[in-house]
Structure 1
Amino acid sequence: MKLSLLAATALAYSTASAYTITGDSVNCRSGPGTSYAVKKTYAKGHDVSISCQAPGTSVDGDSLWDKTSDNCFVADYYVKTGTSGYVAAHCSSGSGGSSSCAAPASNTATVNLIAEFEGFVDHVYTDATGHPTIGYGHLCSNSACSGIGYPIPLSQANGKKLLAKDMGVAEKCITAMTNDKVTLNLNQYGALVSWAFNEGCGAAKSSTLIKRLNNGESPKTVLPQELPKWVYGNGEVLPGLVRRRKAEVALSEEATTAKALPVKC
């Protein structure tokens, strides 16, 4: 899955690494989105370094954008970082990012829910798209997964730490696509993070679910009505998705006083 997406905890990624452009004639823009002006264009195979990353316009389900050493933003979808999660620090608002506000970190219940449905492998394997993978679907930057920072065979505890980082893209997406009318506790937020992690940010952003929340409808009504609709694959109802949506609804209905959204900067 492309969108396997960092709990909002402190990051300390190196920006020295060079990453390869995978698309043809990829535009680098003045901000993190397709509406920003094109500053330059990269050829396929060109290597770029990344100073920071920010959420922006979704490109084929990936809403992360990378700020390069040329001081412009390129869609992360076209950069071979080995993961759909963050490999550099969040851009501040002064760096051209959309916000300096961090997305709330998912709670343990959310991490455990996603882990249950993603499945765990303690060794390096090649996923269906040809990427080296380990743990709960974590995409590695090299064939040995040597950059994960944990010993292999990977323990489930360390696998969940990687998963929590990978969830950051979905957390950023949900935070960015909901407006100030949307008030969510951490369990409701977690249900949406799991859903976006599974379905992709692009699908989530264009959904009736998000539109209803942004129109001011109560998440207590919207989530149990809308989440169960997302159970189809190739036109067929998939039992695994039925179980996942039920688990997400159940999580959203668990009472908690811990608040998630809206974020107060």
Structure 2
Amino acid sequence: MRERRARRGEFGRRLRKRKAVLALSAGALGLSTGASDPAMLDWNKTTVQANVDQRLPAGMRSVSEGMKAVMMEEEGVRYHVYRDVAGNPTVGVGHLVTAEDGLSVGQRVGQDRILDFFEEDLKQAESAVARITGDLPLYQNEFDALVDLAFNVGEGNLSPANSPHLRAAIAAHDYDAIASQLDYVHADGRVAGGLVNRSERRTRIFELASYADPRELPASERA
């Protein structure tokens, strides 16, 4: 357990270092929040809007650094391609391996490529939430929880056909109902204990802005 946490910590430090280098590089090129460069605008959304106490459309947000840490903790950081609980080849921070990745089970992947996978998967999850929620305004914690959901189960599982109650709650702007629909606990047709815990944590993030691991909280605080 200590070794696993140490790896996650090192991975997180590498991720923050890469972001810092990107920010410094952009500054050296004279880019600012008013620049037209989309990547630079995306970078500033995280730092500027993460703590703004107002609801904003998902398209104006990026996942917070705190949520990235939660996702790394829940997914783990795996350097060898393995099969997840549903049997899908996976590597890094829950990255589902595609044919284009050119990887096979058991193959080791370097940290830089894992970071690339994670950043790209986060962008896809953010875009999915923006498409799903439309003009629904969200607090940062609400957005973070929905990004985790999209990242974890995939946009296809959040379609009107597969998640009608969630989509109805979003259409009605019913935040309590949305919170009640964040439990996705099945993998390959079976209840997975890890998904049960993650769903509980996701719901607490959405409702309470509590990013702590509920498994480490006293029973009185988990209710």
- Distance in structure 1 (CA, Å) of the matches to 2:114 and 2:207: 27
Kindly state the Cα deviation for residue 209 of structure 1 after the two structures are TM-superposed: 1.1
Q: SS in structure 2 opposite 1:226? A: coil
1:227 aligns with 2:187: no
Deviations 1:83-139 (A, max 9, x none): xxxxxxxxxxxxxxxxxx95632111221222222221234x3546786x6421334
Which residue of structure 2 lines up, in the alignment, with residue 261 of structure 1? none
> For 1:251 and 1:184, how far apart are their aligned partners in 2?
12
- Deviation, 1:200, is 1.5
The CA deviation at 1:243 is 0.3
Query: Cα RMSD (Å) of the superposition?
Result: 3.4
Q: Corresponding residue for 1:117?
A: 74
Residue in 2 that maps onto 1:178: 133
Of 190, 200, 213 in structure 1, the residue corresponding to residue 144 of structure 2 is 190
SS of the aligned residue for 2:180 comes to helix
**Which residue is equivalent to 1:203?**
157
Q: 1:153 to 1:236 in 2, by over 3 A?
A: closer
Q: CA deviation at 1:253?
A: 2.7
Pair 1:166 & 2:166 matched: no
1:212 and 1:142, CA in 2 relative to 1: closer, same or farther beyond 3 A?
A: same
Q: CA deviation at 1:168?
A: 1.4
Residue 187 of structure 1 and its aligned partner are, at CA, apart by 0.9
Alpha-carbon displacement from aligned partner over 1:37-82 (angstroms, at most 9, x marks no partner): xxxxxxxxxxxxxxxxxxxxxxxxxxxxxxxxxxxxxxxxxxxxxx
Q: Is the 8 A contact 2:170 2:178 kept in 1?
A: no
Structure with bigger RCO (C-alpha 8 Å, 6+ apart): 1
1:1-265 paired onto structure 2 within 5 Å: 104-123=61-80, 125=81, 127=83, 134-138=91-95, 139=97, 141-143=101-103, 153-154=110-111, 159=114, 162-180=117-135, 182-206=136-160, 207=163, 208-217=165-174, 219=175, 221-228=176-183, 230-255=184-209
The 3-state SS of whatever aligns with 1:122 is strand
Per the normalisation by structure 2, the TM-score is 0.53
Q: Which runs of 5+ in 1 are unaligned?
A: 1-8, 11-100, 145-151, 257-265
Judging by fraction of residues, say which structure has more helix. Answer: 2
Per-residue deviation, 1:233: 3.1
> How big is the shift at 1:164?
3.0
Q: Report the counterpart of residue 23 of structure 1 in structure 2.
A: none
Of Structure 1 and Structure 2, the greater strand share is in 1
CA 1:247 to 1:126, structure 2 compared with 1: closer, same or farther past 3 Å?
closer
In the other structure, the counterpart of 2:46 is none
Same amino acid, percent of matched pairs: 24
CA contact (8 A) 1:174 1:193 kept: yes
Distance 2:92 2:157 in 1: 25
- Specify the SS of the correspondent of 1:167: helix
Amino acid at match of 1:110: M
Q: How many residues align?
A: 144
